[in-house]
Amino acid sequence: MPIEWTERIGRRVKLRDLHILLAVAQSGSMGKAATELAVSQPAVWKAIADLEGAVGVRLLERSRQGVEPTTHGRALLKCGVAVFDELRRGVKELEFLSDPTVGELRVGCTEPLAAGFVATVISELSQKYPQATFQVVPGDRLTLLNRELRQRRIELAIIPTSGVDPTIDTDVEVLFDDRHIVMAGVQNKWVHRRNIALGDLIDEPWVLPPPDSLVGLSIAEAFRASGVEQPCAHVVTFSIPLHCHLLATGRFLTMLPVSMAHLAKHLPLKSLSIKSPPHRRPIGVLTLKNRSLGPLARLFIDCAREFAKPLAKEH
């Protein structure tokens, strides 16, 4: 029998009960949830019983090992996460409307974009809104898309969009095309040379990302497009701080996005004058279609569009 919204949901399902269900599912125990929420265990039992009575199905399976959600419970929990996420966002929007200088944004991006493009956008916004806070979650593209964004741990992701198509739950807006260029420390012997070919640099010490990663495969394609195979890296790492530290010695070379070279001008790095065909990678912003963006997220995207314009014109 279909559930009547007014009688069985609108009037009977309480946010407090839904919050208790989330706590029980996360802790796996009625007792632990009661302790975390500072309520009695009978109160937890009653909240779960009221929810099960309202929706007409069992939400939790109870055993000696604890409790875990049923199939129906997992479906309601997914909705509950979205409900509290939207409620949290609504409260933040009210705070932002009361005082435009405050707000919080969780944004995901890759390490190179964090060091260049995203850092530039945050720097601009933090000057205009000095009390705004930003939580930057670095990671690879698939983790940011499939886990952080879809589980609502971040509001938006700035990532390479090659092979990423808009789906039923995500929007993709391409901001600019990026490409990898060879970079060195300012003391490196190659900095002042012109018309360098990638083949000239094969025997130099390189620091590069893992060759089987998405960015590593992209760099390998750039070398092959110039008629040479990618050199064996002396140091393999995703860490941008480690890249910068090693390049500062004047010995190492690497490949980093041109957006980082243009925007992170404070770093003691120089791009080399290389004759090679560019291998471009679109960079975009990804958001969830069914999720309302907060005011600070909308400002971030607007600012990102502005900083992307000169990068897009370059190509």
Q: What is the pLDDT of residue 242?
A: 93
Q: What is the pLDDT of residue 1?
A: 42
Section 232-247 average pLDDT: 92
Identify which has the larger pLDDT, 301 or 97: 301
pLDDT class for 179, splitting at 50, 70, 90?
A: confident
In this structure, are residues 115 and 44 in contact, taking their beta carbons and an 8 Å threshold? no
Secondary structure of residue 28 in the 3-state scheme: coil
Distance CA 290, CA 105 (A): 18
Average pLDDT for the chain: 83
pLDDT tens-digit profile of 48-91?
A: 787 777 777 888 887 767 788 888 878 887 777 777 777 777 77
CATH class of 177-281: alpha beta
pLDDT class for 10, splitting at 50, 70, 90?
A: low
Backbone angles phi, psi at 84, to 5 degrees: -70, -30
pLDDT class for 212, splitting at 50, 70, 90?
A: confident
pLDDT tens-digit profile of 245-281?
A: 999 999 999 998 888 877 767 778 888 988 766 678 8
Which pTM value belongs to this model? Answer: 0.66
Fold of domain 99-176+282-314: D-Maltodextrin-Binding Protein; domain 2 (3.40.190)
Q: What percent of the chain has pLDDT over 90?
A: 31
* 206 DSSP assignment: B
Say if residue 8's pLDDT is above 60.
Answer: no
Q: What is the pLDDT of residue 98?
A: 61
Give the total residue count for the chain.
315
pLDDT class for 222, splitting at 50, 70, 90?
A: confident
Say if residue 37's pLDDT is above 50.
Answer: yes
Winning range, highest mean pLDDT, from 15-19, 23-27, 166-170, 251-255:
251-255
The reply to whether domains 5-82 and 177-281 share a CATH topology is no
Token pair 């050199």 is found at: 231
Angle between helix axes 30-37 and 15-27 (nearest 10 degrees) is: 120
Say if residue 304's pLDDT is above 90.
Answer: yes
Say if residue 20's pLDDT is above 60.
Answer: yes
Distance CA 133, CA 116 (A): 18
Fold of domain 5-82: Arc Repressor Mutant, subunit A (1.10.10)
Q: What is the pLDDT of residue 96?
A: 64
Spans of all domains in the chain: 5-82, 99-176+282-314, 177-281
Instruction: Specify burial of residue 240 (Cβ count, 10 A radius: 0-12, 13-18, 19+).
Output: buried
Q: What is the pLDDT of residue 5?
A: 46
Name the least confident of 15-19, 42-46, 306-310: 15-19
Say if residue 142's pLDDT is above 80.
Answer: yes
Count CB-CB contacts under 10 A for residue 66: 15
Section 119-130 average pLDDT: 92
Q: What is the pLDDT of residue 259?
A: 86
Beta strands in 194-272 (DSSP E): 196-197, 207-208, 235-236, 253-257, 269-271
Distance CA 137, CA 110 (A): 8
